[in-house]
Structure 1
Amino acid sequence: MQDNGSFSDFFYPAPDGLRLHARLYGEGAAGSWPVVCLPGLTRNARDFHELALHLAREAPAPRRVVAFDYRGRGLSAHDANPANYNVGVEAADILAGLDALKIAEAAFIGTSRGGLIVHLLGAMRPNVLKAIVLNDIGPAIEAEGLAHIRNYLHSASRPATLAEAAEAQRKAHGADFPALRSQDWERMAVAIYRQQGRAWVPDYDPKLVGTLDGLDLSVPLPTLWPQFNALAAVPMLAIRGANSRLLSSATLAEMRRRHPGMETIVVDGQGHAPFLETGDLPARIAGFIEQAEKTAQPPKFSNK
């Protein structure tokens, strides 16, 4: 289980007044970039717990880490209007949280939906993005992967124990994640489920699943290439699961072509989305952010 002494809870109002939540880890050195972690569609701040501990405590340059719960997930309030479960509203919520925390610039880690939100933040407030880590997401996503996500969300079970919850995740995703061990699935279950009475239930508003039902996956999905192109000057690391159904190798290659300075990591034995606390990923992510900060150009001031 996760240690509450390693982080603090932060609550703040969304632009429409909804009560939202984030986890805060560490302090970081004065002047160093904080790290903002944005989870996937139905996931929450707990997804980043082990990575956040590494970045806040163990990395050579410890940093302040903020991991957000979107509305309807984790400890954030559910929205009475499920139409508000969209990346535009969620991006505005993140900006409100950054303002409440007085964070003007940061390195961002976006897993899946979180990476889509990063693309929007680049259009809404570009100066906030100092470095970007995209975890198994890009400006174009594959319909097959989205269909897979929709199907397993509709068939989500209500396990009686946490062990059953971990086994349910292994059965749903194990074919794409042969590299994972039993403790990895247990951590995933802790991040995804919460106890409700005698059952363990997914920790998100059930109405969130319905937001995927209107998608016509027989036609090409909209892309965010213009928004991605606008991020060309921002240091970027793209991580792809070798077995990913959502981010294709062709899309990753096109991202690299459009952003020649982009670094890439392909994680063997994992699909969508790689567990960022596994293997050497925490050290490589910390090293990428540290290098980006060291090489960042200082702001130019004019006397005119």
Structure 2
Amino acid sequence: MPLAAASTRLAPAPGWQRGYVFSGDNVRLCWREHHAPGVDDQRPVLLCLAGLTRNGSDFAHLGDSLGRDWRIIAPDLRGRGESGFARDSLSYVPLTYLRDLSLVLDAAGVDRFVVIGSSLGGLLALRMTTAHRARMAGVVLNDIGPELEVAGLNRLRANVGRGGNWLTWVHAARDLAVRNAGIYPDWGLHDWLAFAKRLCRISPQGRIVFDYDPRIAEPFRLPHGDAGADDWAAFDQLRGLPVLSVRAALSDVLSAATQTQMGRRLPGLQMVTVPGVGHAPTLAEPVAVAALAEFLHKVEQGEG
């Protein structure tokens, strides 16, 4: 049986259901799905991929804004959320994630999809062009691109796998606010509480802890652990698709120069900068909401 994190989690957001499939190495993979009655099944599915330490709950707000018109699927990558922990920590790498996503797409009966990828999820979106380019109807790259800033990568490597153990949700929220003050400088306690409840779970001991396997940090911290991947070549494969690049104004991962280069390299790229936030926007910011609505209208109209 796959290893799993015994825990108590908050009830799923209204309108969301769970689906499960097992990987080849016997890890239970979970995806969260919003499929409201009356949704036009001829439209592509919105496949939402979260960042390194995050899970599908990051996209729960899309159920309110887009769920009446679009089927939404938000997988928990292995080692996160309600997906099982892997026995081999070296399976926490993009190649394995991509194999897992293929299983999820098939199990969920997804034929054509738009990828909305935040951070690591955006890198996976780029690399999905290898096996799934013909099924992709569009791509949203949330504060990520083919070239990443060293400072941001070093910060992420230093933070992933760091412990967190709190008595209450308020304690967790206040600590996370201190750790991430430069990313969401305008947030109040209500925002940090919501953030904590997306990122954390209640352990069997009744403490608040991070909702991911800390061993996901092991391959991520290896020097040149992802050598050989040419994300600019993968980016070029998006030509002919609607693509939206969302950049955080305070980002230390995606520079303005890289986003500009992306625009030169991919004619028709829709670009937007979200003011006042760092890596990565939640996509609930008004600027991001408007850009996503415009982008999905473009997808619906079948524009390239």
TM over 0.5, yes or no?
A: yes
Q: 8 Å contact 2:252–2:279 — kept in the other structure?
A: yes
**How far, CA to CA, are the matches of 1:277 and 1:2 in structure 2?**
21
Number of equivalences: 291
> 1:2–1:49: 8 Å Cα contact kept in structure 2?
no
Residue 184 of structure 1, CA deviation = 2.1
2:242/2:298 contact within 8 Å kept: no
Tell me the equivalent position of 2:218: 210
The corresponding residue for 1:225 is 232
What's the counterpart of residue 289 of structure 1? 296
Report the Cα offset of residue 6 of structure 1.
1.7
Aligned counterparts of 2:237 and 2:230: Cα–Cα separation in 1? 14
Residue 53 of structure 2 corresponds to residue 42 of structure 1: yes
Q: Is the 8 Å Cα contact of residues 25 and 64 (structure 1) preserved in structure 2?
A: yes
Answer whether contact 1:141 1:221 (CA < 8 A) is retained: no
**Who is 2:20 aligned against?**
11
Do 1:140 and 1:222's aligned partners in 2 also have CA atoms closer than 8 Å?
no
Paired AA for residue 20 in structure 1: L
Residue 17 of structure 1: how far off its partner (Å) = 3.3
Q: Tell me, yes or no, if structure 1 residue 248 matches structure 2 residue 255.
A: yes
Moved more, 124-133 or 69-78: 124-133
Distance in structure 1 (CA, Å) of the matches to 2:249 and 2:228: 22
Kept after mapping to 1: 8 A contact 2:160/2:214: no
Cα deviation 1:103-135 (Å, max 9, x = unaligned):
111111000000111111111221121011110
How far residue 209 of structure 1 moved from its aligned partner, in angstroms, is 1.6
* AA partner of residue 243 (structure 1): L
Q: 1:301 maps to what in 2?
A: none
Q: Deviations over 1:216-260 (max 9, x none)?
A: 69xx99651111011111110010111111111111111011012
Provide runs of 4+ in structure 1 moved above 3 Å.
1-5, 220-223
Instruction: Confirm whether residue 161 of structure 1 aligns to residue 168 of structure 2.
Output: yes
3-state SS of the aligned residue for 2:247? Answer: strand
1:265 to 260, 269, 272: 272
CA offset at residue 175 of structure 1?
1.6
Amino acid in the other structure paired with 1:265: V
Q: Deviations over 1:55-93 (max 9, x none)?
A: 103xxxx11000000011100011000111001110111
Counterparts in 2 of 1:222 and 1:296: CA distance versus 1, 3 Å? closer
- C-alpha displacement at 1:278, in angstroms? 2.5
Identity of aligned residues (%): 30
SS at match of 1:98: helix
CA contact (8 A) 1:179 1:268 kept: no
How far apart are residue 157 of structure 1 and its match?
2.3
Cα distance in structure 2, aligned partners of 1:21 and 1:124: 21
Q: Which letter does structure 1 place at the counterpart of 2:112? A: E
The 5-angstrom pairing of residues 81-230 of structure 1 reads 81-196=88-203, 197-215=205-223, 223-230=230-237
Cα pair 1:51 1:282 within 8 Å, conserved: no
Tell me which of 16, 29, 41 is aligned to 1:20: 29
Any idea what SS the aligned residue of 1:124 has? helix
Contact 1:22-1:69 at 8 Å conserved across structures: yes
State the SS of the aligned residue for 1:175.
Answer: coil
Structure 1 gaps of 5+ residues are 298-304
1:148 to partner: Cα distance: 0.7
Alignment CA distance shift 1:165-1:221 (3 Å): farther
Contact 1:15 1:92 in 2 (8 A): no
Structure 2 alignment gaps of length 5 or more: 1-9
Q: Which residue identity is paired with 1:200?
A: I
Check whether the contact 2:13–2:60 (CA below 8 A) recurs between aligned residues.
no
TM-score, normalising length from structure 2? 0.90
- 196-205 or 36-45: bigger deviation: 196-205
Kindly indicate whether the alpha-carbon contact (under 8 Å) linking 1:143 and 1:221 is maintained by their aligned counterparts in 2. Answer: no
Aligned-partner SS, 1:75: coil
8 Å CA contact 1:141, 1:223 repeated in 2: no
1-side partners of 2:228 and 2:101: how far apart?
25
Amino acid at match of 1:44: N
For 1:133-167, what per-residue CA distance to the aligned partner results, in whole angstroms no more than 9, with x for missing partners?
11000011112101111222344321111111111
